[in-house]
Structure 1
Amino acid sequence: MKKLLTILLFATAAVHAQSVKQLTSKKADAIEQQVIAWRRDFHEHPELGNHEDRTAAIIAKYLQSLGIAVKTGVAKTGVVGILKGGKPGPVVALRADMDGLPVVERTPLPFASKVKTTFNNQEAGAMHACGHDSHMAILMGVAQVLSSVKNDLKGTVKFIFQPAEEGPPFGEQGGAELMVKEGVMENPKVDVIFGLHINSQTEVGKITYRPGGTMAAVNDMQIIVKGKQAHGAYPWSSVDPIVVAAQIINNLQTVVSRNLDITQNPSVVTVGSIHAGNRSNIIPEQAEMMGTLRALSREDEKMIIARVKEVATKTAESAGAVAEVKIPFSVHYPVTYNDPALTEKMLPTLQATAGISNTVLKPAVTGAEDFSFYQEKVPGLFFFLGGMPKGQDPLKAPSHHTPDFFIDESGFTLGVKALCNLTLDYMQVK
């Protein structure tokens, strides 16, 4: 009799959980236009990293109106909301990034940004050219839906609205790294975190994911080559740092091609700038190079950093010069690593939400995301949401970080449903 009662209780709980998911799905459909309106407002009024004051005020006010406990000023302008469910259970964190980019918008949208600002002491535009406006609007929709069923929630939801994902202004701290330092994963302690990123080159209605390393670790680097200055007519009197820098650049290409097993993970070593000298007939004393390193595993990241330092310093030494290498110079994001067990556990949720054929395993990418700082603390799943109009050629769709970046808003509701369902299902099976 006791066994039968237990079975009945489990069956009743499962039926109730399913009815809650059906209710949240209907609520997500009902607020589609509100989510779009939020996104358009954020898009028209973008703010750069660590300066998202207007954005944060709108988010905080709305979360408070839902009865969600709110903390502001986290990592400068971040907003954290805590929704306690009616039943005990795990703490599920959901994250959206808030910052725009110093890009002058070129789209014909009626809500296109006309904002002018400064970035690194230079005049610049401001644009949500990566979709963070969409992420905020979607997470606000999730907050509305989940708060309406909070009595049925088996746990707590922590809504993290994070500034400066694109990196804080030079010389400042910010982003996910600072949020973690300031305790966003504690009080209450987070058990798991989910996040999404809209993609302008993935068709609306699709979700893409990858277990393990899904986005690269990034380190920027500075290499200063110190030589001996001389007249350009007498190069034998010099130790030419420009020639040495050129040799270093060439030799660095062997790090990926000869030191990395590219059948396992891709990686990148790029020198993006080189500056030296001020006259055609003077061999300067030094040359400076800046670049970026990308890797899809912690082991590869360590190896690449070590080899870049070794190649640069030894190449310079062989020419009688000195190379000073700083890695990272100002930026480091870890690998965005989707916990394999968590991904396997939650994949049926994504498939049930978008459809099996619309839930697609994706290749790893060498772009980076500071969502990785949260994943260093707890298991996390970061997935991609389609934002490209149906039937468009992905190769012709404007890419992220460009003036023509465009998102089809009809995909937002799928994002709301996916984050709601991941939360509810994780709480149910935990």
Structure 2
Amino acid sequence: MSLLPSLCFADTVDQMADKIESKVIQWRHHLHQNPELSNREVKTAKYIAEHLESLGLEVQTEVAVTGVVAILDSGKPGPVVALRADIDGLPVLEKNDLPWKSVARGEYNGKDVPVMHACGHDTHIAMLMGAAEILVAMKDELNGKVKFIFQPAEEGAPAGEEGGAELMVKEGVLKNPDVDAIFGLHISALADVGTVLYREGGVMAAVDPFKIVIKGKQAHGAYPWLSVDPITTAAQMIMSIQTIVSREIRLLDDAAVVTFGAVNGGIRSNIIPEEVELVGTIRTLNKAARDHMYEAMPRKVKGIANSMRAEATLTLPLDYSYPITFNDHDLMATMLPTLINTAGKENAIYSKPVTGAEDFSFFQNEVPGVYLWVGGKPLDVDPKDAPAHHTPDFYVDDDGMKLGVRLLTNMTIDYMQKHQK
């Protein structure tokens, strides 16, 4: 077993990352030009599998529909480290004028739609392919195993289908061999190239969609006293539920968001309808806030409905639910020196959590994990002018990927060094 310190390994990783950077960029451009939607990433999976097989890895395909998993066995005892990249695109029409822009089409909910890597999953794939190449080349310096997880359907499986990290976990992707720790990262269009953003605890929110169906009594709009009005009941419910966050949650510690995204009911101006439907989402960043929302929502819905003489049914969660993307405190503390050594102290930035969601959380529910943001914004672009994720103008610089390759590789090596068996 090599006794070289991790910093010596980091020098080797840097040199190899420099050497393969042009290949990583080429992979990214190919993937960006050929995006595929969730659970339909057939060509993407084939492209990934062919690269992993060329490295001599044991490769499994069609995991959780279209996922790819490969194992690197050092032949020496040690921990099992998993590295994850998501691989699906979005139904977005790209507006960027790039030689490698996407003009791909796909089917989404029965409709023909444009497809674009509008969230950077193309870069995630390329970075993990690069890390795999370096780790295979450094196999003799490793102890333990590395499991490379290329996950489909992070953006959500099509209606009526399962997919994503949740299905991968169900199918045993973290078993045989059993994973000790998992690392993942996401490119950021708002953070400067060369930076890595980190924090312990909740980094991205749990997401819990809900539906409320309010039933009253229909009447003519001229005679509201003959009705049990589900519209005024809905109005009171919408406003009162917001007070769960503003008056019941300890916002200093337990941030939460409740958003109503749809209100459906009624057909004419002079008819009080019998039924109104509300649909929304809850976002929470720790278990205490999430548990409180699950207690308070039915209490509010029932109480307000009773006060208005209406009936109400709450479905929570509605059709899916993601846990909190939660960075294990001990693992984050263990890996922080690696982040600083890899990016530089000034470029390892402690960040605030975000209320977006990530199904990487399903892996973290099973094993300790760390999820990071890697900068992809060109240095000459003002953050306020940078296009947001999931938009037609979304853009991240190729230069941001080398740090991602180095981080994935160095975290794997350093974790193995610190957990030798």
Classify the secondary structure of the residue corresponding to 1:395: helix
The 5 Å alignment of 1:335-374 reads 335-374=324-363
In the alignment, does 2:380 pair up with 1:391?
A: yes
Give the AA of the match of 2:155: E
How far has the Cα of 1:18 moved from its partner? Answer: 4.3
Identity, % of aligned positions: 52
Classify the secondary structure of the residue corresponding to 1:172: coil
1:262 is matched with 251
Give the AA of the match of 1:324: T
2:17 is matched with 28
Distance 1:280 1:124, change over 3 A: farther
Among 53, 57, 63, the residue aligned to 1:68:
57
2:89 is matched with 100
1:13 is matched with 3
1:377 is matched with 366
1:273 is matched with 262
Classify the secondary structure of the residue corresponding to 2:31: helix
1:80 is matched with 69
In the alignment, does 2:134 pair up with 1:145?
A: yes
Structure 1: distance between partners of 2:47 and 2:147: 18
1:52 is matched with 41
1:182 is matched with 171
Q: Does the 8 A contact of 1:45 with 1:115 survive in 2?
A: yes
TM-score by length of 2: 0.97
Q: Which moved more, 1:131-140 or 1:386-395?
A: 386-395
Structure 1: distance between partners of 2:146 and 2:7: 19
How far has the Cα of 1:243 moved from its partner? Answer: 1.4
1:403 is matched with 392
Among 294, 301, 307, the residue aligned to 1:318:
307
Q: Does the 8 A contact of 2:255 with 2:289 survive in 1?
A: no
1:117 is matched with 106
Q: Does the 8 A contact of 1:208 with 1:384 survive in 2?
A: yes
Q: Does the 8 A contact of 2:254 with 2:288 survive in 1?
A: no
1:203 is matched with 192
Give the AA of the match of 1:43: H
How far has the Cα of 1:46 moved from its partner? Answer: 1.1
Distance 1:193 1:358, change over 3 A: same
Structure 2: distance between partners of 1:272 and 1:310: 21
TM-score by length of 1: 0.95
Give the AA of the match of 2:359: D
In the alignment, does 2:201 pair up with 1:212?
A: yes
Classify the secondary structure of the residue corresponding to 2:276: strand
How far has the Cα of 1:359 moved from its partner? Answer: 0.1
Q: Deviations over 1:309-359 (max 9, x none)?
A: 211221111111111111110121101110111111110001000000100
1:6 is matched with none
Structure 2: distance between partners of 1:289 and 1:118: 28
> 5+ residue gaps in structure 1?
1-8
Q: Does the 8 A contact of 1:203 with 1:391 survive in 2?
A: no
2:404 is matched with 415
Q: Please give the root-mean-square deviation of Cα atoms over the aligned residues, in Å.
A: 1.3
Q: Does the 8 A contact of 2:264 with 2:278 survive in 1?
A: yes
Give the AA of the match of 1:14: L
> 5+ residue gaps in structure 2?
none
Classify the secondary structure of the residue corresponding to 1:88: coil
